[in-house]
Structure 1
Amino acid sequence: MNPAPSVIIFTVLSGMGFGYLALLATVHDYSGIAAFWHWFVGYALASIGLAASAFHLGNPQRAWRAFTQWRSSWLSREAWGAVLTLLALAPVALSDWLHLGLPGTFGWLGAGLAVVTIAATGMLYAQIRAVPRWHHWTVPVLFLAFGAAGGCLLAGLRMPSLLALLVLGGMMALHWRVGDGAFARAGSTLGTATGLGGRGQLSVFEPAHTAGSYLLHEMIFVVGRRHVPKLRALALFLSVVLPFLAMLLLPGRYGPYVAVPLHLLGAFAQRWLFFAQAEHVVGLYYGKR
Structure 2
Amino acid sequence: MHPAPSVIIFTTLSGLGFGLLAFLGLGMPAVTGWVAFVFYLIAYALAVGGLLASTFHLGHPERAWKAFSQWRTSWLSREGCTAVAALLVMGLYAAGAVFWDADWRLLGLLGAVLSIGTVFTTAMIYTQLKTIPRWHSPLTPLVFLSFAIAGGALLAGQESLAPWLLALAGAIQLAYWAKTDKALAHSGTDIGTATGLGNRGSVRAFEPPHTGSNYLLREFVYVVGRKHALKLRVIGFGLGFALPIALMVMPFDSVMMKHLMAGVAVLLHIAGIACLRWLFFAQAEHVVGLYYGKR
Structure-1 separation of matches of 2:25 and 2:136: 32
1:250 shift after superposition: 5.2
Asked if 1:240 corresponds to 2:241, the answer is yes
Corresponding residue for 1:58?
59
Q: How does 1:65-214 map to 2 (within 5 A)?
A: 65-99=66-100, 101-214=102-215
User: Contact (CA 8 Å) 1:156, 1:253: kept in 2 or not?
Assistant: no
1:66 shift after superposition: 1.0
Q: Normalising by structure 1, what TM-score?
A: 0.98
Structure-2 separation of matches of 1:169 and 1:102: 33
1:59 shift after superposition: 0.7
> SS of the residue aligned with 1:83?
helix
Structure-2 separation of matches of 1:151 and 1:249: 20
Q: How does 1:30-69 map to 2 (within 5 A)?
A: 30-69=31-70
Give the letter aligned to residue 274 of structure 1. F
Asked if 1:4 corresponds to 2:4, the answer is yes
Corresponding residue for 1:17?
17
Residue from 257, 266, 282 that aligns with 1:276:
282
Give the letter aligned to residue 224 of structure 1. G
Give the letter aligned to residue 264 of structure 1. I
Structure-1 separation of matches of 2:225 and 2:210: 25
Structure 2 unmatched runs, 5+: 253-257
Tell me which moved more, 203-212 or 74-83.
203-212
Give the letter aligned to residue 282 of structure 1. V
Asked if 1:261 corresponds to 2:267, the answer is yes
> Which 4+ runs in 1 deviate beyond 4 A?
none
Give the letter aligned to residue 120 of structure 2. A
Structure-2 separation of matches of 1:21 and 1:140: 19
Structure-1 separation of matches of 2:210 and 2:63: 30
1:95 shift after superposition: 0.7
1:211 shift after superposition: 2.1
Q: Normalising by structure 2, what TM-score?
A: 0.96
> SS of the residue aligned with 2:160?
helix
User: Contact (CA 8 Å) 2:75, 2:124: kept in 1 or not?
Assistant: yes
Q: Give the superposed CA RMSD.
A: 1.1
